[in-house]
Amino acid sequence: ELIGSVILDLLSPKIETVVNKVGEVCGPFRTYDMEVLAGKPDTTVKLNEDGVHLEFDLRNVYWCTRLSGERSRLLSEINKGEIIADAFCGVGAFCLLAASKLGCTVYANDLNPAAVLSCRESAKKNLKRSAGSVTVNCGDAFDFIQNLGSLSRLPDHVIMNFPLDSASFLGVLRWWPVLDDMKDVNFHLYTFARGDDPTGDCSEDLDDKFPPRDASEVAIDLVADGLLPEGGAIEASRNRRSLLDRLGCKVKTTEVRDVAPGKVVICVSF
């Protein structure tokens, strides 16, 4: 409480409440418990990220200010007026940036009703004079991604920022129609990854055939497994970047941030 009071004194009036994170991010809505150390017993957050105003209750949604740099990086890969689909949009920071700054048409989705409500309210406030738009759905990402295949125009970019399990949703792409004039769709999938430990419990699986992989290579293999599962009658393989590239995926990776010793978030774009 003393630390909270000191922080409050230093940052007031911009900061009205100081909280301490208790436990880990968990549950289907990716939230975490917290305790108020100082200030008002109110966890409503109002912030401005690169000109976009957001408001949400931190107790009820997932938010990470440290990802603002990654949102800026990803935004630089988007062209004006493109169609964006965000399967795990949270409170909609990236969606609103793309719509307000680039005039993009954004289809957004999140399982958390509180996050969806915040995204919709923020869209009303931020997009009054913008050529862009944000349409927000509350539902399962599997259904959302599947339904993208029935749009009259496929999205230019699909964002899948659920590092815990994003790759498992790739199988739904098998339900998309195959058209002769089908456009390229750029996917940006975020996943947790650790490099292989040559001294760990699984070291016996590492040999000349399967040399140790770094975190980026592990992340690419997770994507490959989601797109083209192996196992059973098909012997599992590793280092499948070349396979994906032969299929036209043009895979590239970006290390986003560390989350634990040896564990990072990787963005795999293809």
What is the CB neighbour count within 10 angstroms for residue 50?
13
User: Regarding predicted confidence, which is higher, 24 or 188?
Assistant: 188
In terms of Cβ atoms closer than 10 Å to its own Cβ (0-12, 13-18, 19+), residue 255 is: middle
pLDDT tier at 143, thresholds 50, 70, 90: very high
User: Regarding predicted confidence, which is higher, 209 or 254?
Assistant: 254
**Gyration radius (Cα) of the chain, Å:** 20
Q: What is the pLDDT of residue 205?
A: 57
128-133 own/partner pairs: CB under 8 Å, 24+ apart: 130/99, 130/100, 130/103, 131/81, 131/103, 132/98, 132/99, 132/100, 132/102, 132/103, 132/104, 132/105, 132/106, 133/99, 133/105, 133/106
Q: What is the pLDDT of residue 231?
A: 67
pLDDT tier at 256, thresholds 50, 70, 90: very high
For residues 248 and 257, the answer to whether their CB atoms sit within 8 Å is no
Phi, psi of 166, rounded to the nearest 5 degrees: -55, -40
Residue 206 pLDDT exceeds 60:
no
In 3D space, the residue among 200, 220, 198, 228 whose CA is nearest the CA of residue 210 turns out to be 198
For residues 56 and 91, the answer to whether their CB atoms sit within 8 Å is yes
pLDDT in tens, 149-203: 999 999 999 999 999 999 999 999 999 988 777 889 999 999 999 999 887 655 5
Residue 234 pLDDT exceeds 70:
no
Q: What is the pLDDT of residue 211?
A: 86
What is the residue type of 239? N
C-alpha 84/C-alpha 117 separation (Å) is 19
Phi, psi of 61, rounded to the nearest 5 degrees: -135, 165
